[in-house]
Amino acid sequence: MKRSLTLLTLSFAFAKIASVQDFYDINTINTIEIVFTQPNWNEILDSLYATGEGRLAGTVFINGQQLDSAGVRYKGNSSYQYQMVKKPLNIKLDYIIPDQNIDGYGTIKLSNGFKDPSLVRETLGYEIARNYMPASNANYAKVYINGGYIGLYTSVQDVDRNFAQTHFLSNENAFFKGEINGNLQGFNGAWNYFGQDSSLYYDRYTIESDHGWADLTGFLDTLNNHSGFMDEVLNVDRHFWMLAYDILLVNLDSPVNMPQNFYIYKDDEGRFNPVIWDVNETFGVFRNVTGGPPLSNYDMQHLDPFFNSGNPDYPIVSKVLNIPLYRRIYTAHVKTMMDDLSGNGWYVARALEIQDIIDEEVQNDPNKLYTYDDFINNIYNSVGGGPPPQGQSIIGIAELMGTRITYLNSLQEFQAEAPAISDVTNTPAIIFQGDEVWITANISNTVAVQLGYCSMDQIRFTKTNMFDDGNHNDGAAGDGIYGISITAGNTNIAYYIFADNDEAVSFSPPRAEYEYYTITVMNDVAINEFMADNETTISDQDGEYDDWIELYNNTSGTVSLGGWYLSDDATNPGKWVFPDTVIASGEYLIVWADEDQEQEGLHANFKLSASGEVIMLSDAGLNLMDQINFGIQKTDTTTGRFPNGIGNFIEMIPTFGYENVDSLSGEDEIPVAQTEKPVLKQNYPNPFSRNTTLTFVLPEPANVCLEVFDIFGRKVVIFKGWLEDGEHDYQFNGDQYPSGLYFTLLRTDDSVQQIKMVLAK
């Protein structure tokens, strides 16, 4: 059999699996209507809040969709006040009915804008955080209770097991919320170690998993007493980003200052990952620090970038930032955030854009906590008044950050000249699984360079040195070109470059490890598309709407799958075995995941979870051939590879048995069956070094769109027009385009066809 080509591509990707964000689309203001049978519902909810136990069941309508028997309670600490009409809410949709959700989300958390006249601190704060680390989605919702309009709320995604599955590829491990649950007797430090007795931590953590206290105490013991091994128990790079976020944005109601408002999840690699939470007081709202008066505006603008690094009561900061290399990495992350925020005044412009979305609703909110003028002014200026404590001044976002960024950039450690990284490349352009892949970069002002890399189905990077010695595909020794090779496996590869000169460090891309370059590795047979919540899309031969998995043959020959395996359990990759089955070149194969092997056809002995899990394809020797770890899935929507067969997974319109399309816009229609349809022939020559001929045949006159695009999905040639029936040729000149894999799409009103072609100069 002739093997298919595997294309290496240089692109940016983020360390997160495709996830559903429709409910939390920032441009959408959801409508939430709560109906209680009890007319005294407010008194009941106040009573439940006072006792800290229980919820009041009611019917919830979200954008018209009815969800019965949801559990509602008031939430918050200072943001809840008895006399308020607009109190923060927690709505558990699956309180009584298991798995009841909206777009995969089972719990809705609503904030009332307490101490935020601008009403953008949470939405903007989470949006900033999502550029550097896993963080909640957030938008807005109008809330009604028993027909009365309560007001406009900020709606924030819950950090729950679905969140863990989406971002950490598992959800059954140790999972904790940092939360003050009792009297801490004036001690505010986070991540201290008090011994192995788990009861010593009950006042500081709430367990979110079925087990894990021993994991937590072991982690804290290592961090505090064996800090040289902290990278074995802590995702230190993720932690650097959290520290950079909290200190740069003066988010002091957080673990850098208070032992609360964070989560930690232990991934399958054995490392705890911190997750930010409750950022409504970011951008300088929370001013209290231990052992002193509240910070002034000047104090916050000039807050030490290494805040609490010298305080042993705060090991969450001091155990990390007192290591010189880690301090340099942290500084680089802060500088990256500052560059992103201040570039073209992005954070101010974005805050104003978000305010535009909710402007009319803020004006119409009968129970808003600040005036409309306060809402407008607080982007730039301090605002007083608002809910108790009366008269507290809330600093303007730009008022804080403009001076703060200027101050930090003036500090010596922030002015140290960092290594310069450019011309990051991977070669050759076309490889096969198991081949050697060379990665090179041009780097100046450095004494040490490393490559961080991992398979895309993993979450921990391996680091190896890169060399400028003339022996690693790096040109001449000492020319500033660094190189190293890795071996391509059967899954896509993520990588980044790290350089250090003992005074400052650089990453490429700058947001690594959360952002990275990708190398696409095409499997002979790929998991191409799957649907984990099939309500109405397509049924099997017995009329049942079951989960399904689509495979695609990337090779030029037929592949026998007899004896291969599919599984949704990483501990049992041989869960379901294929009978004698073949898949032809360029063809699709559907396996129904319905636990109904008695039905005719391919029916696996497992179902897919819409909350997220893993799909694994292994050959007859149980060698892993392809794998996807996925998070929350939306009803009647699929996740699939784009470009078809080789690309990364994205959310898409279902294309059951057809070429995958790249959007949910509806612009790309699913091809329909025809007795006679246009034919897009394989280009000739292929591969080609300069010119190739694209040929297609139209059975009748048609509107035609002929497109050529690269591996990133970027169009490089477009031809549109009305053509008569018959055969048509189109010459494609590749002189101005780099070598690699390209795709040609022929679209007519009722047909979409695609071929692959290779430009090899």
Q: Residue 696 maps to which CATH number?
A: 2.60.40.1930
| Number of alpha carbons in the 13 Å side-chain half-sphere of residue 175 | 17
Asked if residue 642 is part of any domain, the answer here is: yes
SS3 705: strand
Give the residue ranges of the chain where pLDDT is below 50: 1-21, 665-675, 711-714
Asked if residue 659 is part of any domain, the answer here is: no
Write the pLDDT tens digit of every residue in 337-355: 999 999 889 999 999 999 9
Q: What are the start-end ranges of the H helices in 677-723?
A: none
Strands (E), 445-535: 448-455, 462-465, 481-487, 493-500, 505-508, 515-519, 525-531
Residue 99 sits in the same domain as residue 140: yes
Residue 105 sits in the same domain as residue 54: yes
Fill in the amino acid letter for 466.
M
Range of the domain at 10: 6-15+416-519
How many domains in the chain?
5
| Number of alpha carbons in the 13 Å side-chain half-sphere of residue 367 | 18
Asked if residue 33 is part of any domain, the answer here is: yes
* Calpha distance 502→113 (Å, rounded): 44
Indicate the residue among 460, 495, 519 that finishes a domain: 519
Residue 709 sits in the same domain as residue 742: yes
Pair of tokens at residue 456: 């895309």
* Calpha distance 485→14 (Å, rounded): 23
CB 627 within 8 A of CB 583: no
pLDDT the model gives residue 388: 67
Residue 291 sits in the same domain as residue 325: yes
* Calpha distance 262→274 (Å, rounded): 7
| Number of alpha carbons in the 13 Å side-chain half-sphere of residue 231 | 10
Indicate the residue among 484, 519, 554 that finishes a domain: 519
Residue 474 sits in the same domain as residue 551: no
* Whether pTM exceeds 0.85: no
CA 520 and chain centroid, separation: 19
CA distances to 173, 177, 273 from 269, rounded to whole Å, are 11, 20, 11
Asked if residue 1 is part of any domain, the answer here is: no
* Calpha distance 569→553 (Å, rounded): 23
* Calpha distance 750→671 (Å, rounded): 6
* Calpha distance 163→259 (Å, rounded): 22
Indicate the residue among 343, 365, 386 that finishes a domain: 343
Residue 550 sits in the same domain as residue 562: yes
Q: What is the CATH number of the domain that holds 510?
A: 2.60.40.10
pLDDT the model gives residue 499: 98
In the sheet that 576-577 helps form, which strands lie side by side, from edge to edge? 576-577, 565-567, 613-618, 624-630
Write the pLDDT tens digit of every residue in 583-640: 988 888 999 999 998 888 899 999 999 888 999 999 999 988 888 988 888 888 899 9
Asked if residue 400 is part of any domain, the answer here is: no
Residue 288 sits in the same domain as residue 251: yes
Q: What are the start-end ranges of the H helices in 460-518?
A: none
Asked if residue 219 is part of any domain, the answer here is: yes
pLDDT the model gives residue 456: 80
Asked if residue 231 is part of any domain, the answer here is: yes
- The residue behind tokens 């101490």 is 115
CB 498 within 8 A of CB 517: no
Write the pLDDT tens digit of every residue in 139-180: 999 999 999 999 999 999 999 999 998 899 899 999 999 998
CA 237 and chain centroid, separation: 16
Residue 176 sits in the same domain as residue 310: yes
Q: What is the 3-state secondary structure (H, E, C) of 616-664?
A: EEECCCCCEEEEEEECCCCCCCEEEEECCCCCEEEEECCCCCCCCCCCC
Asked if residue 664 is part of any domain, the answer here is: no
Residue 225 sits in the same domain as residue 290: yes
Residue 453 sits in the same domain as residue 312: no
Residue 143 sits in the same domain as residue 263: no
Write the pLDDT tens digit of every residue in 365-418: 999 999 999 999 999 999 987 776 656 899 999 999 999 999 999 999 999 999
Residue 533 sits in the same domain as residue 618: yes
The number of residues in the chain equals: 761
Given CA atoms 307, 309, 310, 315 in this order, what sign does their dihedral have?
positive
Write the pLDDT tens digit of every residue in 13-24: 444 333 334 899
* Radius of gyration, alpha carbons of the chain: 28
